[in-house]
Structure 1
Amino acid sequence: MSTQGIRDRVAVVAMGCTRFGERWDSSAGDLLIDAVRECLDGVGGTEPADVEAYWLGTLGSGQSGLTLSRPLGLGHRPVTRVENYCATGSDAFRNACYAVASGAYDRVMAVGVEKLKDSGFSGLTRMDPPGDGTAPENTLTAPAAFSLLDPAYCTKYGVDPAAMREAMTHVAWKNHANGARNPRAQFRTPVSKEKIAAAPLVAGRLGVFDCSGVSDGAACALIVRAEDAHRYTDRPVYVKALSLTAGAGLAATDPAYDYTTFPEVVHSAREAYRQAGITDPRTEISLAEVHDCFTPTEVVLMEDLGFAERGRAWRDVLDGDFELGGRLPVNPDGGLKSFGHPVGASGLRMLYECWLQLRGEAGERQLNDPRLALTHNLGGRPGACVSFVSVVGAERG
């Protein structure tokens, strides 16, 4: 797979993000209004009707572009609703960027929203289409499917299960510590490693604190041509790479799949690095926002994204490599663990943290002079998923 890419042809000039959490007092429309208002307030004088086109990401909080046009009172602007599992918000951003890069529009917005708490479900509001019963992944809950990563990884690389359990605990501890510094996170209280390790089990060895939360939220980004960026802000963020991969979905029917990697992530990361001109992501990426839906997922992603050697990520996690003061901070905003996962908003929430960090506006979790940032979304489950990787930077090459 190879594409020309749109490196440095478009820029993000404003963003908005609501507080994530149990937003019983707000409808999906309320959350959309709040996120868009914050975004447009960042470029004073711009109104919703001034944006030429919108891409809206939502899994189950609305159908059609009316989900956005109605609360914003957009009139007759084109609004495209996007859905791509947990990569929904990221794919809305991807499509919006391509629209500007193609020359079709000069000023567009990508928006993501989800209201999960009102659904009555404890997880995602996902309904699989009718099938012939040969898709085994549909018989497992998400925690059960991702719990398979843990024993498979230990077996393949000869890792002591106790050490892997410690690494999983460390991921949760790190991300909750980061989220405690973020006023927009759902969970803002640090959690001790002892409490994480002793939590009630959900599936396999996954405890309550190994699983991301369920929340409501919205986020958005205003995107323009790179040459126009400084008309809106003196600190734009430039898009270096956008890569989306959909796997073959063979899952458990493929005897070669061993549950220690996400091939879709490997392919999307490789393509993103090619587009961005990155040859050593371990040293060239300043921070990464990754899809820590479950703690063993983050461990495996460190290897699939090229941040750690195969079979070594668990050790790098315990060594603190991915903490705020480590060699490559991962999920400095708290990740899905602290924010929860309102599907349509998560990818844009990740981008929002990169926006803040690259502009030096991340407050007490601000990193020292970040230059390139990565976001990663994973939709689906091991062996049958889609993967999105973006790279954005503070400078235009």
Structure 2
Amino acid sequence: MADAVHVLGGAQTDFAVNWSKQSDNPLFDMLEQAVRDCLAATGLEPSDIATAHVGNFGGERFAGQSHLGAMIPMLDPAWATLPTSRHEAACASSSAAALAAMAEIEAGRYDVVLVAGVELMRNVAGEEAARNLGSAAWTPEELDTDELPWPHLFDRISQEVERRYGLDQNHLNRIAELNRTNARRNPLAQTRGWTAEPGHFEADDIANPIVTGRTRKSDCGRITDGASAIVLAGSRFTESWLRGSPDRTASRISGWGHHTAPLPLSAKFAHEGRYLFPNIRQAITDAYGRAGVRGPEDLDVIETHDCFTITEYVAIDHFGLTAPGEAWRAVESGYIDFDGRLPVNPSGGLIGAGHPVGATGVRMLLDAHRQVTGTAGDYQVPGARTAATLNVGGSCSTAVSFVVTA
């Protein structure tokens, strides 16, 4: 029987920091800080770690650096020959790293695994950063435009949602407002100190201008630097670790799902099924099934991908909070509010907390762990015991979902 996989804890850097302004080697220094803080948070020694996985999307483009797994052995003499690897799945890179780490524990190969994610993006101008990130799209056809890649592609998703079901911009504006409001409670969120002008979350062409198509400024996540790290462990080590201190708490990754659709957005739109993105729906339902969760009625909190507001809007019905095409009901009713029946992105999500691409999947897992162990501080959802995540890569091509329980 496969071993259970537990989260012992972790850490993330401050997503508001522009690392290229304070470091000569920001990619490495971010990774080092997240890993050091992760070890401190879990009370582990470097010698406890048996292997490590790093998620990163754009090290080559942003920093001229690949082979990031080999950075881990640089962090401590005990790791001089540690087995490590790097994983790339666009915005789901560190979720892919976590899946690989889980497989090693379940197979009995290793007992304690470090999983980290890191991304440097603010060291170049915004338009260059956007072009670099565009390499996660289908480059022959989807970058042959003067539009910035991701606003253009996710605006196409908005248009497809509108074509199939109808779409009211007010519902997207409300998602942006919720996530930015939630981020104010999160001491490591990129936008925690940002203020919103009147009209910022409305159809105001001055305060909230159109970026492309129907997509407005408040619909878009921002370029972010950051790193995150967690420790995963099997049952035997976790039980021993918990006995080491009465203050320690662990969670369990009780379910997971992972499905990938074709790279081009047009290929995904060619499917006319019940759900806009069946790979996302299948990843979520696989995670539900493996965790023994019936659906959203068994969840207490969700951390979901919202690189644009439309991403969260789509995720709402794919999680099963509403029927397909009716995500607006969950937005209008307050169902997903911080004090609603099922809070979504109490951390602030990607729009509020920040989206350092390669670090996001691990950050979501860490926040899910914090919620179900009651250690999320000012953004703690009272009584949370079961959390779900959804992390997507590219134009919703890679989809990874986890269910984390106390």
Provide the TM-score with structure 1 as the length reference.
Answer: 0.89
**1:362, 1:130 → 2: CA distance?**
34
Q: Are the structure 2 counterparts of residues 324 and 137 from structure 1 closer, same or farther at C-alpha, using a change threshold of 3 Å?
A: same
Q: Are the structure 2 counterparts of residues 128 and 284 from structure 1 closer, same or farther at C-alpha, using a change threshold of 3 Å?
A: same
Q: Deviations over 1:277-310 (max 9, x none)?
A: 112x221011111110111111111111212112
**2:381, 2:303 → 1: CA distance?**
13
Q: Are the structure 2 counterparts of residues 169 and 129 from structure 1 closer, same or farther at C-alpha, using a change threshold of 3 Å?
A: closer
| Aligned counterparts, 1:270-309, within 5 A | 270-279=285-294, 281-309=295-323
Task: Give the deviation of 1:137 after TM superposition.
Answer: 3.1
SS at match of 1:194: coil
Q: Does 1:251 align with 2:265?
A: yes
Q: Are the structure 2 counterparts of residues 77 and 220 from structure 1 closer, same or farther at C-alpha, using a change threshold of 3 Å?
A: same
Task: Give the deviation of 1:111 after TM superposition.
Answer: 0.6
SS at match of 1:196: coil
In the alignment, which residue of structure 1 is the partner of 2:4? 9
Q: Are the structure 2 counterparts of residues 119 and 244 from structure 1 closer, same or farther at C-alpha, using a change threshold of 3 Å?
A: farther
In the alignment, which residue of structure 2 is the partner of 1:390? 402
In the alignment, which residue of structure 2 is the partner of 1:36? 35
Q: Are the structure 2 counterparts of residues 240 and 256 from structure 1 closer, same or farther at C-alpha, using a change threshold of 3 Å?
A: same
Provide the TM-score with structure 2 as the length reference.
Answer: 0.87
Q: Are the structure 2 counterparts of residues 156 and 273 from structure 1 closer, same or farther at C-alpha, using a change threshold of 3 Å?
A: same
**1:313, 1:324 → 2: CA distance?**
17
Q: Deviations over 1:244-265 (max 9, x none)?
A: 1111345325673469722210
Q: Are the structure 2 counterparts of residues 127 and 318 from structure 1 closer, same or farther at C-alpha, using a change threshold of 3 Å?
A: closer
Q: Are the structure 2 counterparts of residues 323 and 201 from structure 1 closer, same or farther at C-alpha, using a change threshold of 3 Å?
A: same
Task: Give the deviation of 1:70 after TM superposition.
Answer: 2.5
Question: Would the aligned equivalents of 1:226 and 1:238 in 2 still touch at CA under 8 Å?
Answer: no
Task: Give the deviation of 1:128 after TM superposition.
Answer: 3.9
**1:40, 1:86 → 2: CA distance?**
25
In the alignment, which residue of structure 2 is the partner of 1:101? 106
How many matched pairs?
379
Task: Give the deviation of 1:69 after TM superposition.
Answer: 2.5
Q: Deviations over 1:69-109 (max 9, x none)?
A: 22445311011111111100111111111111111011111
| Aligned counterparts, 1:52-63, within 5 A | 52-61=50-59, 62-63=65-66
- For 2:327, give the aligned amino acid: A
In the alignment, which residue of structure 2 is the partner of 1:168? 172
Task: Give the deviation of 1:270 after TM superposition.
Answer: 1.7
Q: Are the structure 2 counterparts of residues 320 and 192 from structure 1 closer, same or farther at C-alpha, using a change threshold of 3 Å?
A: farther
- From 316, 325, 336, the equivalent of 2:350 is 336
Runs of 5+ consecutive residues of structure 2 not aligned to the other structure: 60-64, 243-247
Task: Give the deviation of 1:191 after TM superposition.
Answer: 3.1
SS at match of 2:132: coil
Question: Would the aligned equivalents of 1:144 and 1:203 in 2 still touch at CA under 8 Å?
Answer: yes
Task: Give the deviation of 1:42 after TM superposition.
Answer: 2.4
SS at match of 2:389: strand
**1:17, 1:254 → 2: CA distance?**
33
| Aligned counterparts, 1:96-175, within 5 A | 96-120=101-125, 121-123=128-130, 125-126=132-133, 128=135, 136-139=141-144, 141-157=149-165, 159=166, 164-175=168-179
Identity %: 30
Task: Give the deviation of 1:113 after TM superposition.
Answer: 0.5
In the alignment, which residue of structure 1 is the partner of 2:13? 18
In the alignment, which residue of structure 1 is the partner of 2:62? none
Q: Deviations over 1:338-364 (max 9, x none)?
A: 122111100111112112111212222
Q: Deviations over 1:91-141 (max 9, x none)?
A: 11111111111110111111100111114334373464999x8x5334361
Task: Give the deviation of 1:68 after TM superposition.
Answer: 2.8
SS at match of 2:123: helix
Runs of 5+ consecutive residues of structure 1 not aligned to the other structure: none
In the alignment, which residue of structure 1 is the partner of 2:181? 177
Question: Would the aligned equivalents of 2:321 and 2:330 in 1 still touch at CA under 8 Å?
Answer: no
- For 1:203, give the aligned amino acid: T
In the alignment, which residue of structure 1 is the partner of 2:72? 68
Question: Would the aligned equivalents of 2:296 and 2:319 in 1 still touch at CA under 8 Å?
Answer: no
